[in-house]
Structure 1
Amino acid sequence: MTKPPDTPQLDDFAAGLPFSLDPFQIRACQALENGHGVLVCAPTGAGKTVVGEFAVHLALAAGRKCFYTTPIKALSNQKHNDLVQRYGAERIGLLTGDQNLNGDAPIVVMTTEVLRNMLYANSDALQGLSHVVMDEVHFLADRMRGAVWEEVILHLSEDVRLVSLSATVSNAEEFGGWIQTVRGDTTVVVDEHRPVPLWQHMMVGKRLFDLFEGAEVTGDRSLVDPELIRHISHRREADRLSDWQPRGRQGRGRDGHRHSGGGRPTIYRPPSRPDVIGVLDHEGLLPAITFVFSRAGCDAAVKQCLRSSLRLTDDAERARIAEVIDRRCAELDDADLVVLGYYEWREGLLRGIAAHHAGLLPVFRHTVEELFTAGLVKAVFATETLALGINMPARTVVLERLVKFNGEQHAPLTPGEYTQLTGRAGRRGIDVEGHAVVLWHPDVEPADVAGLASTRTFPLRSSFAPSYNMTINLTNHMGPKQAHRLLERSFAQYQADRSVVGLVRGVTRGEKMMDEIAARFGGRDAPILAYARLRATIADRERAQSRASRVQRRQAANDALAALRRGDIITIGQGRRGGLAVVLEPAGDRDDPRPLVLTEDRWAGRISSTDFSGSSLRVGSMTLPKRVEHRQPRVRRDVASALRSAAAALPVPAGRPKRGQPGQDREHDVDPELAGLREQLKAHPAHHLADRDERVREAERFLRIERDNADIQKKVNAATNSLARTFDRIVLLLIGRGYIERTSNGDLKVTDDGRLLSRIYSESDLLVAECLRSGTWDGLDPADLAGVVSAVLFESRGDTPGASAVVEGATPGMRRALAQTRRSWSEIRAEEQQHRLPASREPDSGFVAAVHRWATTGDLSASLAASDASGSGSPLSAGDFVRWCRQVLDLLDQVRNAAPTPASRTSAKRAIEAIRRGVVAVDAG
C-alpha cells in the first residue's frame, strides 16, 4: 500500500472545515501543496471552490499573496464576503472597478479584467504573488470577454501557481493539455460525480412522472418510464378523439380556444404557473427555479402567481423577508419606488415568489439571491443567466420549454445547456437529492428529453482573438516576434492546430487516391489527364461566357426599358404576357426600370427586364388619351383595340416572337480563346480513343479529388498562424493611423497616441482612442460627454433602430460630437475592410438621451422615458438602465485616466459624479 503524500497544510486546512473533503478535492489540493498548478472540472455545486480556498490558505501560510478572480462583479462580491467571514476583513481585499477595498491585502478578490490590466501595467501589486485562482474559467468561451482569461493565463509569471476552476466540459483533457503546454506542470482533475443525485421528471398536466425507469440517469442504456409513455399516448388519443366531435357541438370558450361539447379544449394548454408551483409544493420539491427564456416571461410568471391565491410563506418567514427588504432597499428614493415596481416586487417576495434576470435592478436581484439562499423565497422564475456562476442552488429546477432564442433564432437546447441549467438542482448539505422537471407539451417527446438528460457534451471553445488594445500592449511590452510566440501559445491556436491535424490527414488520403488513379493511366502526366483538364477549362469558359452574356442581355434590356416613353409600342418576348404592348407610364428607376404597360390581351401592369429578351424592344408609337384609367375593363379594351390598329399600320410587321426563337440581337459565340480551346480538344490524341468517355470519367474523378485537396489546403493555411496574421494586419492599420511607428532600424515603437489606446479596455477601444486624440469629445460638459460615451458601448436589444436614431433634446455640442464619432467609425470601418479585419461595432445612440437626462436631473422616471424617445423601441427596464449606466461609468473612468487634455479629464470626473447617484449608486455590487 502506497503511503499518502505528506501534506501538512492540507491537513491543517481540512481540520477547519465543517465537512469532509471529497476524493477529487483531496487530489487537487494535494497537487497544489506539492507545487503543481491544477485544473478542476466538476459539476455545479460539487465544491470546486474549496480548492481555490486552499490556494488562499497556502498563500497566507507562506506569507505570500493570492488573487482570486471571477468573471463578474456579483461573484467577486460573494466570494469576498465568504473569505472575510473565514479570514477577517483586514486580510481580504476587493477590486472590481466599482469598488477598491483594501487592495494591498495579501488576498485580493477581483474581476479577471482587473488582473489583466495589472499585468499589462506591470503593477507593483504583482510582487509576492504565489497563487491565482481563476473561478469559472470556462468563461474563456464567452464571445465578448473570453480573451481576458487567455491573456491572464499567458502573461502570468511562470512561478505563479494557477488554480483553474471550470464547470464540467467534455474536452477537459484538451484544455488541460493546453494549460500544461503554456504553464508547465499542471494536474488535471475531472470529476463528473454529482454530490447530490439528480432525478429527472416530466410533468404532464398536473401529474408528475419519473422520466427514466429507475429515475436517475445511468447512461445511454437508461429507458424512458413506460408509465409516462402510456399516459402521454392516452392523452394524445383523447385529444385526437375530441377533435372529431360534430361541428355543431363545438364553440369557443372564454379562453378563446375551441371546445368540444364536453368542454375539452382541442388545443393543448399547459398547466398554469401557480398550478405547477402548487404541485411541486405538494410533492415537497420546493424551493424551485423555473427557467423562462425571456425577461418579460419571468415578470409575467410572477404576476400570474400574484393574481392567484398562491402563498408559500408563513407569518414568521414574511417578517424575516420584510426585514431583509427594508435593510437592502433603505437607500432607495421614495419617489422612485413606484417607477421601480417596488410594491409588486415586495408583495411577491412576501409570498415567497420572485423573478431573477439581468433586467432587474441590482439591489432587487441581490435581495432575491439573499432571500432564496436563506430558504425564504421558494419559487424563482429566472433566465438562463442565473445558471452562470451565481450561487443559488434549489431543490428543483423546472424547464418550461426546451427551445430558447440564441440571439438569431429559436433553437433547441443543447445537452450542455440542459446540463448547465439542471445542475442548479440539489443543495449540497441540505438536499438528499435534486430534481429536474420538464413540462410536457404535445411537441415534446420523452425520448428527446431523455437524450438531453443522458448526454454529457459541453466542449470548451476558445474565443481568443487580438484586439487593438491587446495588439498595442503586446507590441509595447514584448515586440512583434515575442507577441507572435505568445499568440501561437493561445488556446485558440492550440485548438486550430489540432483541427489542422485532421485536415492534413484528409489531404494525405486524397493524395494517395490520386496516385492510385494516376497509376492506372501511367502517371500524373498521362495524356488523358491533360485531355480532361482541357475539357474542364472549356466547360468553365463556357459557363463564364454564359453568365457574362446573361448580364449583358439584362443590362441591354434595362437600358431599353429605361429609354421607353409614353405611347411607345413594344414587343414583350417572354412569358404569359408575350406579344404587343403600349407604354402607359415610363420607368422611374434607371437601375431597376419597370414601366407600366397594357398588352394586346388587355393585361395592364409593370414589366421588367425578365419579361423580354434582346435590346430591339420598341417597334413604333401611338397616341394615347391624356388619362388612361387602366384599372377599368372598358378603358383597357379600347386601348388594346387601338394598339392592334396602330401596330397593323406600322411599316414593319410587329408581333409575338415564335416560341423558342432566340432574341434577334443575341450574340453568337465569337470568343476566339474558346474557339481555340475547342480546336485543341479535337486535335488532342486522347480525343479519338475508343474508350475515351470511360477514361475521362476516371480522370475527372482525379480532378475532383485534386480540387477538394486544394480547398482543404486553403483551410489548413487559414488555420495555421491565423492569430499572428490578424495581429500583423492590426499592426499595419495602427501604423497607418500613427499609433505605432517604425524606427530607423525597422523595429516597432508605440507612440504617445498608442499609449493612450493601451489604457482603453473597451470593445470599441480604437474608436474611443480616436475620439480622444482628435479632440472630438473636447469641450463637452459632463452630461454631454456621458451621452456621447454611451453611444460607443450601448447595444439596442432586438431589432430596434437605436444605432442611427435622432437623439431628442440633444445639445449642439452633443450632436456635433455624435456626428464626428460616427464619421470616425466609418473611416475605421473602411480601413478594417482594406486590411481584412473584423468590423468594429457601429455606434448606437439608443442610450444617449437617457443617460444625459439622468446626469442632468437624476430623475429616474424621466430618464427611463428618454430611453424610449432615443430610439430603443421601448423604455429600458430599471435594471437595464442601471447596468448601462455602470458600463458608461467604467468607460468614463478610463477616459478620465487616458484623455490627453485636463479639461476632458475633469469633465469625465464630473460626469462620473453626476451618474453615480440614486438607483445607480445603491447596491453597486
Structure 2
Amino acid sequence: MNERPAANAEQHTDAGPASSESANTGSANRGLDGFAKQLGFELDPFQIEACRALENGHGVLVCAPTGAGKTVVGEFAVHLALAAGRKCFYTTPIKALSNQKYAELVERYGKTQVGLLTGDTSVNSDAPVVVMTTEVLRNMIYADSPALWGLSHVVMDEVHYLADRFRGAVWEEVILHLPEDVRLVSLSATVSNAEEFGSWMETVRGDTTVVLDDVRPIPLSQHIMVGRRLFDLFDSRSGSAPNGRDLVVDADLARYVRQRQALDRDSAPRGRGPRGFGGFRPLPRPDVIARLDEEGLLPAITFIFSRAGCDAALAQCLRSRLELTRQEDLPRIREIIDKHTAGLPRADLEVLGYRDWRHALERGLAAHHAGMLPAFRQAVEELFVHGLVRVVFATETLALGINMPARTVVLERLVKYNGETHAELTPGEYTQLTGRAGRRGIDVEGHAVVLWQPGVEPADVAGLASTRTFPLRSSFRPGYNMSINLVGRMGADRSRALLERSFAQFQADRSVVGLTRGIERNEEAMAKLRNQLGGADSEFFEYAALREEANRRERALERHGKQTRREASVTALSRLRRGDVVAIPVGRHRGIAVVLEPDRDETDPRPLVLTEGKWSGRVSAGDFPEPARPLGSMRLPKHVDHRTGRGRRDLASALRSTGITAPGRRSRKVSAAKDPEITRLRKEIRRHPCHERPDREQLGRVAERYHRLARETETMRQKAAATTNSLARTFDRIVALLTERGYVTAGEHPEATDDGARLARIYSESDLLVAECLRRGVWEGLGPAELAAVVSTVVYESRRDGDSPAPVGTGVLRHALDETVQVWRELRADEIRHKLPPTREPDAGFAAAVFTWAGEGTLLDTLLAADDGGGRALSAGDFVRWCRQVIDLLEQVRSTAGDAELAQSARRAVAAIRRGVVALDAA
C-alpha cells in the first residue's frame, strides 16, 4: 500500500546525525539521512523512530493508521539492504498490493534491481529486491531456496493478516522460520494489543522495537446525513477532546432525528411520511451523490456490503441524469479503459457487460468488488486514483485492498452479513472502512458520512466512531503440509518446541493466567461456602456429597442415553439402502425423504437424500434424534438427476405418490428409576440424619452453590491443561495419522518418507487429500480438461449452501470425481478418529465451468456452466480467481506427480486454462 505523503509535502531538512552503527554502510548517504533527502518530504516522528531502530540493527513492528506512511519504514529496509550489498524481500498479502509495490520500487531503483513473484508471475526473481506474496516466501523457506542466501531484511506489509482464518498461519510460519540474522520489518494497522504482539515478536525474533502511532495524518470529520440534511456527528461547541471519551453528539442532529422518528411513527399507519421527510424511504443514491457534490465532498467511496448491491447502486445512478466528469476528461478515461481491456476478444466484452461499464466510467461512476473481472477492477482503480472516477460503490474488500483513498467515505448501513448472520459493524471494521477518507497532500480533512434510516441512533454511531479496539488474534494451527515440513526440517522434538513459540500458543498461555485466577477466586468462595456447611468433616457436608453424587449419576445416565441414541442413529444411517424412505424428524428439512446414495461409513455416515420438499443434500446422525428406520421403499431410475430443479421436482412428486407419511415424533426421556446405583444413593440420602433437619433446604442451596463452583473449577482446570501445549498435541495427532498412512516413518525419531516429501510440496487447503489422490493414481489417465475439472473440486468452495451441480464431462471424469470423494471419506474417518479438524469435502461446483473452458469453450458457455451455489452463473471475477487457484494446484501436481503422463496432462491443462480473460489477468 502506497502510504507515503505526497511529493509536494515540505522538504525534510535534518533528521539528526546517523548512528555510529550505520557507519559500516560506508557513507552517511547510505543511512537514514541520505534516505530522507531522497524523499522530498519531512518524515514524521514515528517514521524516524522506526527507521533509527532498523538502522541500529533492530527488528521493528510499526502499528499506525491507514495512510500514516508505514511503508516508508519498509522502503528504508530496502535502502539499507541495497546499500549493504544484500537482499530485501518485500511481502504483501495479495497480488494487487505486490504489483503496486513492485511498480513503485521499479520507479525508484530501476527494473534491474527489483523483481516480482506472485505465484503465477515471475519477473527478475534473482534481483536484490523482490516483491512477493507471503505464501511465496513461506514456500521458499520450506524448500531451502538458494534465493534466501544474502537476505538481510524482510518487510511484512499488512502483518495483521495473521489473524485471517484461512491464510493467517502463513505469516507466523515465516516469522518463526526466518533465519535469526534477518531483520524483520512488520507493518500493521492499528491494533489494540500491539504491545502483546510486540512482546511475542521480541521472544521469537530477538530485539524488536515496537513503534505505535494512533494519529491519523488527515483528520477525520464524522457526519450523519438525514434526508438531504448533512449534520456533524459530534458537537464541536462542547469543547471535548477530539479523541476523548466525552464526545457529545451534536444537539441539532439529535433533535432532528427525534423529530423525524416521531413523524415517521405518526405517518406509519398511512404508509408514507409527510412531505420533506419521505417516510421510511431512503434518499435515492443519485440525490445522495448530488448532495455530497454540492458540499465539495467528492470523490467518494460508498461501501455496500454485497456485490449485487454495488451493481444495483451503479445501475440506479446510470438511470439518473448524474454526470460527474467534464468533456475534456473523456479522452484520458477512454485511453485508460482501452489500455486495460485491449487483450479481450470482442465477444467476451459483450458477455462482460462492457458497454454499460464503460458508459458508467465516462460519467465518473463505478462499482468495485471481487465479482468483477480483474482488468475491469484495475481500470476503475487507476481512474479513481487520477480523479477521473468520482464515485465508487464498493464492498468492504476495498478497505483491505490497494491504495484508493477518497475525500469521503459513505456507509449506507451499519449491518453486514458475516457469512453466517447479519451482524452490526464492530468499531474495528468501522475504523477500517472510514480509514479510506482523506487524501494526504490533497485534503485538509477526510469525511465519514453515515446515511440515517429508522433504527440508526446517533449515539450508537458515535460509539463506533470514537472506539479504537481491534485486537489481533492468532489463527495459527498446524496442518499436514506444515507438520511434514517441520518433521523434515527439524525433527519432531524441535518442531514441538517451535510450535510452542507461536503467537497462538503465546496467547493461549496468557489465557491460562486468567483461568488460574478464576480457579483461585472459586477456591476462595468454595472455602467460605464449606464453612457455612460446617466444614469438610461435618455431617451436612457428607449429606450434600450424597445428593451431589446422585445428581452426577443422573447427569451421566442422561449423557450415556444421548450417546447410545447417537450410536444407534449412526448404525441405522450406515445400513440404509438406495431407495429406502425414511422420516427426518427435526430441522428445516423434516418430513419423508428417499435415500439416493447410501454411505457405509461406520463413524459418521452422511447418505444423500431427497425430501418431499424438493431439497437434496447429505444428512447426518445429528438430523436423527431417533434411529432412521425405513418406512418403505421406492424404485429409483438407474441414473437419478437430483441436481436440476426439474429432476428434484419429479423425484419429490414420485416420493409423495408412494403415500408414505412420517410418524408422529415420540418423546424419549432418560429414566433413572431402574438404575441400581441411583436407587442405593436415594436410600442412603433418606436414611441420613440430616435428611430431617429443618434447615435442610436452606443449607442444600448453599451446598448446590458449592458443588456448582466445584464443577466450574474442574472445567477450568481441564481447559487450562488442554490449552497448555495445545498446538504440540495437535501436531502429535497429525504425525500419528501421517505415520499410519506412510508419510512419516514410525519410531522415536520420525522422518518424512518419499510420499511425505511429495506432501511437503503441496500447498493446498486439502493438501493430504491431493497427496492421497496422487499416490493412489486416482487422477491418472485423465485428459487436460478432465484433470482441471477434478482438481477444481479440492480448491473450489461455493459461496452459498446449495445442491451439487450436474455431473460433467466423460465417464472417466465422473469415475475420478467419485474416487476423489471416496478418498476424502476415508480420510475424514481417520481425522475423526484422531480428533483432527476435518478436510473440507470436495466441491464440484466449478468442475463444469473449468471443464468447458479448458475444452476451448466460449466465455459465455463457461460462465453459464458454473454454479455459485445459488443457481446463478458465476461472475467473471470469481471465474478468473478460481481459475488461478486451479492453475496453481495443477502446477503443483505437475511438479510432484510420479506419473509422467499425469504431469504432462497437468502442464497441458494449465496452458488450456491460461487464455482469454484468465491470461489477461496473469499478465
Q: TM-score, normalised by structure 2?
A: 0.84
CA–CA distance in structure 2, aligned partners of residues 887 and 497 of structure 1 = 36
For 2:818, give the aligned amino acid.
A
Q: Contact (CA 8 Å) 1:40, 1:166: kept in 2 or not?
A: yes
CA–CA distance in structure 1, aligned partners of residues 672 and 762 of structure 2 = 62
Q: Contact (CA 8 Å) 1:203, 1:209: kept in 2 or not?
A: yes
Work out which of the residue numbers 68, 83, 100 in structure 1 matches 2:105.
Answer: 83
Q: CA deviation at 1:366?
A: 0.7
Whether 2:243 is the aligned partner of 1:218: answer: yes
For 1:798, give the aligned amino acid.
R
Work out which of the residue numbers 117, 123, 131 in structure 2 matches 1:95.
Answer: 117
The residue aligned with 2:548 is 536
CA–CA distance in structure 1, aligned partners of residues 711 and 388 of structure 2 = 66
Deviations 1:681-704 (A, max 9, x none): 344454465655444443333222
CA–CA distance in structure 2, aligned partners of residues 670 and 332 of structure 1 = 77
The residue aligned with 2:184 is 162
Q: Contact (CA 8 Å) 1:28, 1:51: kept in 2 or not?
A: yes
The residue aligned with 1:634 is none
CA–CA distance in structure 2, aligned partners of residues 552 and 157 of structure 1 = 53
The residue aligned with 1:758 is 760
Which stretches in structure 2 are left out of the alignment for 5+ residues?
A: 1-14, 23-27, 566-625, 633-659
CA–CA distance in structure 2, aligned partners of residues 853 and 424 of structure 1 = 40
* Secondary structure of the corresponding residue to residue 881 of structure 2: helix
CA–CA distance in structure 2, aligned partners of residues 143 and 546 of structure 1 = 36
The residue aligned with 2:890 is 892
Q: Which has the larger radius of gyration?
A: 1
Q: 1:919 to 1:548 in 2, by over 3 A?
A: closer
* Secondary structure of the corresponding residue to residue 764 of structure 2: coil
The residue aligned with 1:18 is 40
CA–CA distance in structure 2, aligned partners of residues 905 and 540 of structure 1 = 60
* Secondary structure of the corresponding residue to residue 479 of structure 1: helix
CA–CA distance in structure 1, aligned partners of residues 729 and 671 of structure 2 = 47
For 2:178, give the aligned amino acid.
L
Q: CA deviation at 1:826?
A: 0.6
Whether 2:173 is the aligned partner of 1:151: answer: yes
Q: CA deviation at 1:610?
A: 6.4
* Secondary structure of the corresponding residue to residue 392 of structure 1: coil
Q: Contact (CA 8 Å) 2:895, 2:903: kept in 1 or not?
A: yes
Whether 2:919 is the aligned partner of 1:921: answer: yes
Q: 1:198 to 1:67 in 2, by over 3 A?
A: same
CA–CA distance in structure 1, aligned partners of residues 755 and 159 of structure 2 = 33
Of residues 533-542 and 288-297 in structure 1, the stretch that sits farther from structure 2 once superposed is 533-542
Whether 2:731 is the aligned partner of 1:727: answer: yes
The residue aligned with 2:82 is 60
Q: CA deviation at 1:235?
A: 2.0
For 2:356, give the aligned amino acid.
E
Instruction: Map 1:547-696 onto structure 2 (within 5 A).
Output: 669-687=673-691, 691-696=695-700
For 1:823, give the aligned amino acid.
Q
For 2:49, give the aligned amino acid.
R
Whether 2:516 is the aligned partner of 1:504: answer: yes
For 1:316, give the aligned amino acid.
E
The residue aligned with 2:907 is 909
Q: 1:551 to 1:323 in 2, by over 3 A?
A: closer
Q: CA deviation at 1:797?
A: 1.3
* Secondary structure of the corresponding residue to residue 518 of structure 1: helix
The residue aligned with 2:308 is 296
Q: CA deviation at 1:76?
A: 0.4
* Secondary structure of the corresponding residue to residue 349 of structure 1: helix
Work out which of the residue numbers 443, 453, 457 in structure 2 matches 1:441.
Answer: 453
The residue aligned with 2:67 is 45
CA–CA distance in structure 1, aligned partners of residues 49 and 34 of structure 2 = 16
Q: Contact (CA 8 Å) 2:97, 2:401: kept in 1 or not?
A: yes
Which stretches in structure 1 are left out of the alignment for 5+ residues?
A: 245-249, 251-257, 554-588, 596-604, 615-665
Q: Contact (CA 8 Å) 2:17, 2:33: kept in 1 or not?
A: no
The residue aligned with 2:605 is none
Q: Contact (CA 8 Å) 1:298, 1:356: kept in 2 or not?
A: yes
The residue aligned with 2:824 is 825
Q: % of aligned pairs identical?
A: 63
Instruction: Map 1:117-516 onto structure 2 (within 5 A).
Output: 117-214=139-236, 217-243=242-268, 258-259=271-272, 267-516=279-528
For 2:902, give the aligned amino acid.
S
CA–CA distance in structure 2, aligned partners of residues 36 and 539 of structure 1 = 60
* Secondary structure of the corresponding residue to residue 221 of structure 2: strand
For 1:26, give the aligned amino acid.
I
* Secondary structure of the corresponding residue to residue 69 of structure 1: strand
Q: 1:750 to 1:236 in 2, by over 3 A?
A: same
For 2:368, give the aligned amino acid.
H
CA–CA distance in structure 2, aligned partners of residues 158 and 212 of structure 1 = 49
Q: 1:265 to 1:159 in 2, by over 3 A?
A: closer
CA–CA distance in structure 2, aligned partners of residues 276 and 736 of structure 1 = 63
Q: 1:118 to 1:240 in 2, by over 3 A?
A: same
CA–CA distance in structure 2, aligned partners of residues 668 and 143 of structure 1 = 44
Q: Contact (CA 8 Å) 2:101, 2:131: kept in 1 or not?
A: yes
* Secondary structure of the corresponding residue to residue 489 of structure 1: coil
CA–CA distance in structure 2, aligned partners of residues 418 and 20 of structure 1 = 30
Whether 2:794 is the aligned partner of 1:772: answer: no
Q: CA deviation at 1:242?
A: 3.1
* Secondary structure of the corresponding residue to residue 426 of structure 1: coil
* Secondary structure of the corresponding residue to residue 742 of structure 1: coil
For 1:906, give the aligned amino acid.
Q
Q: CA deviation at 1:484?
A: 0.6
Q: CA deviation at 1:528?
A: 2.7
Q: CA deviation at 1:540?
A: 4.0
Q: Contact (CA 8 Å) 1:259, 1:265: kept in 2 or not?
A: no
Task: State the aligned residue count.
Answer: 812
CA–CA distance in structure 2, aligned partners of residues 667 and 239 of structure 1 = 56
Instruction: Map 1:695-734 onto structure 2 (within 5 A).
Output: 695-734=699-738
Q: CA deviation at 1:117?
A: 0.4
Q: Contact (CA 8 Å) 1:594, 1:608: kept in 2 or not?
A: no
Q: CA deviation at 1:526?
A: 3.7
Q: TM-score, normalised by structure 1?
A: 0.84
Deviations 1:216-243 (A, max 9, x none): 9432111111111122222223333334
Q: CA deviation at 1:263?
A: 6.6
CA–CA distance in structure 2, aligned partners of residues 543 and 43 of structure 1 = 52
Q: Contact (CA 8 Å) 1:65, 1:131: kept in 2 or not?
A: yes
Q: Contact (CA 8 Å) 1:141, 1:461: kept in 2 or not?
A: yes
Deviations 1:436-489 (A, max 9, x none): 000000110111000000000001110000011001000111111111111100
For 1:112, give the aligned amino acid.
T
Q: 1:550 to 1:98 in 2, by over 3 A?
A: closer
Q: CA deviation at 1:535?
A: 1.3
Q: CA deviation at 1:881?
A: 0.7
The residue aligned with 1:626 is none
CA–CA distance in structure 2, aligned partners of residues 488 and 455 of structure 1 = 33
The residue aligned with 2:594 is none
CA–CA distance in structure 2, aligned partners of residues 909 and 606 of structure 1 = 54
CA–CA distance in structure 1, aligned partners of residues 119 and 350 of structure 2 = 30
The residue aligned with 2:859 is 860
For 1:739, give the aligned amino acid.
Y
Q: CA deviation at 1:12?
A: 0.2
Deviations 1:190-210 (A, max 9, x none): 100000000000111111111
Q: CA deviation at 1:924?
A: 1.9
Deviations 1:504-557 (A, max 9, x none): 11111222233344355565344432221111222344566789999999xxxx
Q: Contact (CA 8 Å) 1:200, 1:217: kept in 2 or not?
A: no
Q: Contact (CA 8 Å) 2:784, 2:906: kept in 1 or not?
A: yes
Cα RMSD of the aligned pairs, angstroms, is 2.8
Q: Contact (CA 8 Å) 2:866, 2:874: kept in 1 or not?
A: yes
